[in-house]
Chain A
Amino acid sequence: MSTTPRLVEVRQKVLKQNDLLARGLRQRFREAGVYVVSLVSSPGSGKTAFLEKTLTLLRDQCRVAALVGDLATENDAARLARSLAPVKQIITGTVCHLEAAMVERALEGWNLEELDCLFIENVGNLVCPSSYDLGENLRLVLLSVTEGEDKPLKYPTIFNTADVAVITKMDLAEAVEFDATAASRNIQAVRPGMQVFQISAKTGEGMNELIRFLGARFDESVKLLVG
């Protein structure tokens, strides 16, 4: 019996499973009053140094913790443990990005009620993480001065899916002749209106401003929750 091929409508998001898990996580975070910030950037742009500094500065103000994604090592978690905040490493193996399921697994054993703010450091990669919702409230994209001002133009998708841009390693800006105006212009081209911070985790430059900004966003979300 011969059959004729026919087209049947399906309409399913390929990442539906991840989206559902992320929605569940977002709900859990909201119910527990945890504000979640994720970090994305290319490898070596200073996510871990930035996070170590941020956790240290925030530790006195609220209960912070971090999940850090890496392909193979636990080095980042060991480094971040110096901040004295609870830190857990997610080793992804060969996977080049974090997915909501990995975050969910990593949270096992943690009582979210004991946290105010959670940071999720993604695997260093400017392409793949953009497709995966992790249930975060805010996505920060980091760009170091040594990478070149045109990074936003080369990776418009990740900049477009992020909420805030952080330019790191400002202490090296002069040495590498970093053009901050061009970098900001490129960021605005791919994500008009995006707020940009310039920081150095090493010298602490710009860190207080960023911490204040995160604090305000955190307070806002608490108010929304209560009010």
Chain B
Amino acid sequence: MHELSIALSMIEMASEEAEQRGGVRVNAIHLKLGQLSGVVKEALLFSYDLACEGTPLAGSRLVIEEVPVVVFCPACQVETTLASLQQFCCGTCETPTSEVVRGQELEVVALEIE
């Protein structure tokens, strides 16, 4: 359960950003969360509310955009979305592949401020 420390990092990052923009209020953090990031969405949402308490971000929302895993198929030479994390292979020809193109994201992409 490292989601709490992830949440704390995000809040710190957003607070600094808000500070730099003249102390604006942050209503929401928008996060890209890859399926292979090792972070569980539900646990992060739960931790976020806890971590926000007593900070300038109290009452703010965490908006998560989940990013599916996209791999590159060496046979077809195309990128395909994985149907299952239990089977790393091309969605078309089923050639096994470990070449992950997307899905490891753990990135704050935007802040909703006022």
Contact = CB atoms under 8 A, between A and B. Distances in A.
Interface of A: 3-15, 17, 95-97, 127-128, 130-131, 153, 156-158, 160-161, 188-194
A79 B75 CA distance: 48
Contacts of B88: 156, 160, 189-192
A103 to B, nearest CB: 16
Contacts of A158: 38
Interface in B29-86: 30-31, 36-40, 85-86
A131 B96 contact: no
Chain B interface bracket (under 10, 10 to 19, 20 to 34, 35 or more): 35 or more
24 contacts: A4-B114, A5-B112, A5-B114, A7-B110, A10-B14, A10-B17, A10-B108, A12-B108, A13-B108, A14-B106, A14-B108, A95-B5, A128-B38, A131-B38, A131-B39, A157-B85, A160-B98, A188-B96, A189-B87, A190-B86, A191-B98, A192-B88, A193-B98, A194-B98
A127 B44 CA distance: 14
A94 B39 CA distance: 18
Nearest to B32: A11
A160 B38 CA distance: 10
Contacts of B85: 156-157, 190
Interface in B6-22: 6, 9-10, 13-14, 17, 21
A10 B114 contact: no
Main secondary structure of the interface of B (DSSP, over half): mixed
A5 B113 contact: yes
B107 A12 contact: yes
Contacts of A190: 85-88
Given A95-B2, A190-B85, A192-B88, A8 B111 contact: yes
Interface of B: 1-2, 5-6, 9-10, 13-14, 17, 21, 27, 30-31, 36-40, 85-89, 96-98, 100, 106-114
Contact of A8 (B1, B10, B86, B113): B113
A10 B38 contact: no
B43 to A, nearest CB: 10
Contacts of A127: 2, 38, 40
Given A12-B107, A156-B88, 9 more contacts: A8-B111, A10-B108, A11-B108, A13-B106, A14-B31, A97-B2, A131-B38, A160-B100, A190-B85
A127 B108 CA distance: 21
